[in-house]
Structure 1
Amino acid sequence: MEGCRKKRTPLGSTEMNPDELAGLKEVLTHKFTGGSIVKSVLDAVNTGVIILDQHENICLINSRASQLLNIHQEGPVPTRLSSIFMDDDRKILLPNIIKMARQQGEFQGEVMLKRRPQAAFLAFFSMNYYVQDQIGLFVVTITDISRLKDVERLLRKSERMVYLGRMLDDISHQIRNPVLAIGGFSRRLLKTRLEKPEYVRIIMDESKRLEMLLDVLTEFIQLPKPRFSIKTCSDIRQLITRSGNNIAEQFDAELNVIDNIEEQDAPVVTDTMLLCQAIEHVITNACESFLDSPRKPVITLEFHAPLSPQGGMTIRVSDLGPGIRPPIISRIFHPFFSTKTGHLGMGLTFSRRILEELQGEIDAESGLNQGTTITIKLPGDRRRRIRTEPLPA
């Protein structure tokens, strides 16, 4: 992104004599109440500022620029602007920038700059050229836009995910009608006399499986956006315990609840409906790990909340099932991955998708014959205290 707004009078290549240079530095280093006026003002600006003479010698660097370039911690203060540019940009890019600033008065664009000792960052770089009383002056401003670029990449990724979701929704609609037709005609065929009706039953069973798969995909695609609200840890514990008991009853499982919440009123920012849905999938998955075992499912539901003003909460769901081998533990959140025959393997995928929407985290620990523990972390109130608490009188 480059451009110019207004043209300033170029000084040409006239060199500054010693008196002029001394006068410029006097302006920039004028003492007042024990410090430099210009330096004090520029240090208060939350943007990197570098002032150069007409020969590109650095006369002043404010505190923010020193921080961005990591000048105070590593080596001497640079005297030439070229020292903060990448090696590949010193021969062409930097001279072009200076030339544009001299001729057009201004340059603006994205530039990769050095950060000592060996790092670099993407900066929005602006250079203005001023001339007054035959004295030229460059004013450079630097803003670190690396995080903005990261946000831009995330937005592009989100747009691609939305597009893929719409495409998958269209595909599922196109597939559903043929699958329903196959299932319907299979049921009709079973009512007639067939030499090998078991073949038709296989077709009908597979069509039912496809219908179920399409239902799950549709639910996954149409997962609603979170409606965030601030709840207390106590509220969350009660809601999740109730949901957990409902799932445990369906599997005739024993649910043990452990409350380690230090601050019951600590805030948690979440969507309780979606959170309960995610926990239900996790507890269901834990109960299903006992399907091939004669033992009664035993599930432990733990709540942890730190004694912190920001709040937040950790929830753990543990089972004493057969566990998962370490090589495949990282795949349990992948779509359609299951260690159980006849299962779609979408439950934990739902949970991860929901936790991503809730700006939380989900992780798994397991070992063969050691059971599995799913850990969920929920964010607290991230608002600054200046927004939530009145200042004392």
Structure 2
Amino acid sequence: MDKSMLLTKRNRLFINLFAVGLLLHTLSSLFIHYQNPVSIPLFAILYCILLYILRRMNINNYVMQTLILGGMNGYILYLIIDTPYYIHILLFVYPLFIASLYHSIISSLILLPITALEVIYLFQKNYINFESTIEFGNLYVVLLFLILISLTAVVHSLFMRNTWHRMEEQQSTLERALDSREGYLHMFFENAKDGIAVFDLDARIIALNPAFELLYGWSREECIGNHIPLVPPENVAAANERIEKVLKGESFYSFETKDMKKNGTFFDAQLTLSPIYNKSGDIVAMSVITRDISYRKEAEKLIVQTEKLKLAGEIAAGVAHEIRNPMTVISGFIQMMNTDDQHPYQTYTKLIASELERINLIISEFLILAKPHVTKAKEFHIERIIQDVVLLFSPELNLRSILLKESWNAQNAIVIGEQNQIKQVIINIVKNAIEALTNEGSLEISTDLETEGFVSIHIRDNGAGMTPEVVNQIFEPFFTTKTTGTGLGMMISEKIIQEHAGKITINSQLNKGTTVSILLPYNKAEKSATSN
């Protein structure tokens, strides 16, 4: 602990002890009857109040120490003069004891002769009063006690001063070692691969390393002393809650969340947030260590998706062979029963037939999952496939007064793959879009040629839309929001697109609509192919 701070705390303690002594003296003068009358120490009380005022004014600690020791000594001198009992002389021990607690050899050496002169003066002045109540043996013991306490106080102060000097030397050695250690810490801070930043209590950045600049895209000049938006708008409230907890002393280790770069893009981040304390144990700042785990998340997602596809394929193989044969028999008998218009259970058999068709649909989708990658790849015009699907749904669009908007900007795009599978994907997506629309809604289908040899297909609707939770689960097996859905359509669609080296994404907002985007690699058609 700093020597000045230690002296300040001791001054505060001894002023309080001084006040307690005055309080006890005042109470005793009011309620206890002595042989000699005891007066209330008004001057001592005023002096104590003055000490409190000076402490509030933060005067020099050594001056305050002198005033406290002088005040205690003067108060005891006043007490003995006011009530001349020889036993009160022992009270002179207390200031000497306090001086030894200050570990100040100078204070002890100054106070010791002053106390000796005061004792001599009191014996000369009150010798007649003391003579009738004290024996020589008692006087010898009192004086010997005073001398021993005084010497002890001086020796203790000398010992503590030497001890303090040794502690200061050790601290100096530690500080030199710390300076060397701080150099290594600085190199670690600057060369760490994880982004590290230090924030003040108002969440302004006060230090950051190069990795943090590279990760978030903000320069040091832009960050220092400023509030920087590092989290997506929807996560701001949760981020503020974490900051409040950190300011209360809580830490977060390897916390996974979404953070935002300067260009507005999001990335998966693993954060460690910790409070930073000063020597007094007060929180003065916050540290944030950020690690980009986007690649790890993508890898985990691919592994999980592969396991799901593998599981679904294994289930498909078993279901297709074990269930379809008995289902064929049951379906045959149900059809025979339905041909008889007179049988009394026609309502139930038709319901059974409908459910059998639904089971057969599920088995068919299982079989698609169990199929291997595309083996009969052929070239086909992607726009023609989409236009065939549009033609297929035109009657339903007209019947429900759904406005169809078309934008064809990829006339020469040739995709290599299984066109029936791609057609099935487009059918699934358009069907879902129509089911999400109310009457007089709108459906927009467009194609564009993208960079890096991809053709994009966008299918937009202004229907009910989906929540982020639904979007995150839409490619999960058996997940569906429909009462009659199988929960396999979108998973199969994603599998087909991935087998064609493409990508499918969904962007949806609740009550605003959904956009499904498909990217497929393409070859530009030759003129002869186009004319055909």
Scaled by the length of structure 2, the TM-score of the pair is 0.35
> Which of the pair has the greater relative contact order for Cα pairs under 8 Å at 6+ separation?
1
Greater Rg by CA: 2
